[in-house]
Amino acid sequence: MLIELIRIAYGTPPELEIWRIIERNTDKRFDRDIDAAFRWSWKNEYDPHPDYARFKALLYLRLDPLFFAYFDDHTENARIRLDEIRWGGVYRDGIPPLDHPKMIPAEEATYLRDRHVVFGIEINGDARAYPKRILAWHEMFKDVVGGVSVNGVYCTLCGTVILYKTEFEGQHHELGTSGFLFRSNKLMYDHATESLWNTIEGEPVVGPLVGKGIKLEALSVVTTTWREWKKRHPDTTVLSLNTGHNRDYGEGVAYRDYFATDKLMFSTPFQDRRMRNKDEIFALRFGSPSDKPKAYSVKFLNKRKVVQGTHGGTPYVLIADESGAIRAYESGGRKFSLRQKRIVDESETVWNMEEDALTNEEGLQLKRLPSHRAFWFGWLAAFPDTELVK
């Protein structure tokens, strides 16, 4: 409990006294390093005081009255450790989501250059691009794409961009930015019950909705360049700079200092030297919960271009294009290779990469599989037993 007080008392006279109490009771020296103190606490068995949730509710009430509901009730069945839920330094929706933002035709997007990074989506023929330079300031968008209500979540800290259907078993879930993090990963909240949701898994982890079997369906999104996305989808629309918010949407402006180094803003309980913290991986998100998580180094995939394997009983193929964009598809047991910039199988049949499937001239389709990029540390924090291919 005292470690959490440090963040609130930082820079005030009580801070030093709190540190003295912590160090006296733990017999440890932390040198005012709150991340070191948290890492020490996470190594201990989780046995919270019966009033710990109430303490968090009252503590964060001082910052934002809307925070109180997250912890005041329904925490006894939480799926994550409450002491690993940290305040991210913003109020609820203080990083404002884009709510059905204005889209414009590609030819009107004169603010974009070919090399700029976009997150591309196509649903039922409706192709849309969400530039990283804009989404980094908002970290979430709510939209209807191809007639499907979706919620796109960009966790800038852990490098994930995940697209979810907002409807589960006929119930629409209106999501927002909670202001809190779990293992440096953004926690969402739903407007109806104020439950906290794990962004990387798309399911509630604290609050009334825990244990209800709710898990949002993840849809395909690709990280690519504006040039490559336009080439593949000439009729695409793209976010307008007119978002209703006053931000510097220049390329690379948002989180420039954070992306420039390997240093983390918020530590996690796990460290792994196989890759640097912010090296990118490509995570496979299909199979069953009992399957061992699997991830590939993005550098490895961009070097190999075509990689095949089996995960959770599903044969797959991963294909990297010239822009560095990576997509995962079912392989159907076929063996694929890259010949003269074309994807061919062992019978020399040519296949085309679409957003929903690999297709050939005979009309056969091999469907796209759920997958996304992430920073290595962020993926490891969520799935510490992951299998890494590099």
Closest-CA residue to 2 (of 30, 21, 16): 21
pTM of the model: 0.94
- Please check whether residue 252 lies inside any domain of the structure: no
C-alpha to C-alpha distance for 13 and 10, rounded to whole angstroms = 8
pLDDT, tens digit (0-9, with 9 covering 90-100), for 67-123: 999 999 888 899 999 999 999 999 999 999 999 999 999 999 999 999 999 999 999
Give me the residue label for tokens 């990280």: 223
Query: What residue numbers bound the domain in which 123 lies?
Result: 98-239
129 and 68 in a common domain: no
Tell me how crowded residue 51 is: count the other CB atoms within 10 A of its CB.
11
292 and 176 in a common domain: no
Per-residue confidence (pLDDT) for residue 288, from 0 to 100: 85
363 and 289 in a common domain: yes
- Please check whether residue 250 lies inside any domain of the structure: no
Amino acid letter for position 104: I
- 134: confidence class by pLDDT, cuts 50, 70, 90: very high
Q: What is the CATH number of the domain that holds 288?
A: 2.102.10
| pLDDT averaged over every residue in the chain | 96
- Please check whether residue 43 lies inside any domain of the structure: yes
Per-residue confidence (pLDDT) for residue 62, from 0 to 100: 92
154 and 77 in a common domain: no
Helix (H, G, I), strand (E, B) or coil at 334: coil
Residue 364: is its pLDDT beyond 90? Answer: yes
156 and 130 in a common domain: yes
CA atoms within 13 A on the CB side of 25: 12
Residue 154: is its pLDDT beyond 80? Answer: yes
C-alpha to C-alpha distance for 380 and 387, rounded to whole angstroms = 10
- Please check whether residue 92 lies inside any domain of the structure: no
pLDDT, tens digit (0-9, with 9 covering 90-100), for 89-102: 999 999 999 999 99
Q: Percentage of the chain with pLDDT > 70?
A: 100
182 and 116 in a common domain: yes
Are 219 and 150 spatial neighbours (Cβ–Cβ below 8 Å)?
yes
In Å, how far from its chain's centre is CA 212? 22
Structural domains in the chain (count) = 3
Residue 1: is its pLDDT beyond 80? Answer: no
C-alpha to C-alpha distance for 328 and 369, rounded to whole angstroms = 5
pLDDT, tens digit (0-9, with 9 covering 90-100), for 269-328: 998 999 999 999 999 999 888 899 999 999 999 999 999 999 999 999 999 999 999 999
- Please check whether residue 165 lies inside any domain of the structure: yes
